[in-house]
Amino acid sequence: MDKSKILVVDDEKHIRMLYQEELEDEGYAVATSDGEEPILDLLEREAPQVVILDIRLGPDKSGLDLLQLIRGRKPHVPVILSTAYDSFQHDLKSIAADYYVVKSVDLSELKGKVRQALGLKAA
């Protein structure tokens, strides 16, 4: 069975490393990006089954804008928005996301959303 590939886009290196380690432990293939590379190039190269996208990617870059680009080019790829700020849940742009998680050291919610996005049963 092929490993499902997950793309993690977050400007914080420790978050990318944490997510990568935890998700690889679950058996997924994980690609990471700090959000600097154009998202559409990344999607073409990595061909992920799920994208985990931080909402705040630095002072002048928003994951919500990247979400719109992903929806325009790859509407079938599930996107999980990940943020430290739950107020974004009410931002109209965020409704284009399939799932929404607030960052936490406990990644069980995130892992559950990944399983849901992949159509897998809960472990």
pTM above 0.85, yes or no: yes
Number of domains in the chain: 1
Domain range enclosing 45: 5-117
Instruction: Say yes or no to pLDDT of 119 above 80.
Output: yes
Report whether 31 contacts 7 (CB < 8 A): yes
Evaluated on CA atoms 23, 24, 27, 30, the torsion sign reads: positive
Is there a domain that residue 123 lies in? no
Q: What is the pLDDT of residue 86?
A: 62
Q: Is the pLDDT of residue 89 over 60?
A: no
pLDDT band at 13 (very low <50, low <70, confident <90, very high): very high
122 within a domain of the structure (yes/no): no
pLDDT tens per residue, range 15-41: 999 999 999 999 999 999 999 999 999
CA distances from 121 to 1, 17, 51, 86, 115 (A): 16, 25, 19, 26, 7
Sheet of 99-102: strands edge to edge?
29-33, 5-9, 50-54, 79-83, 99-102
Rounded to the nearest 5°, which phi and psi values hold at 16? -60, -45
CATH at 41? 3.40.50.2300
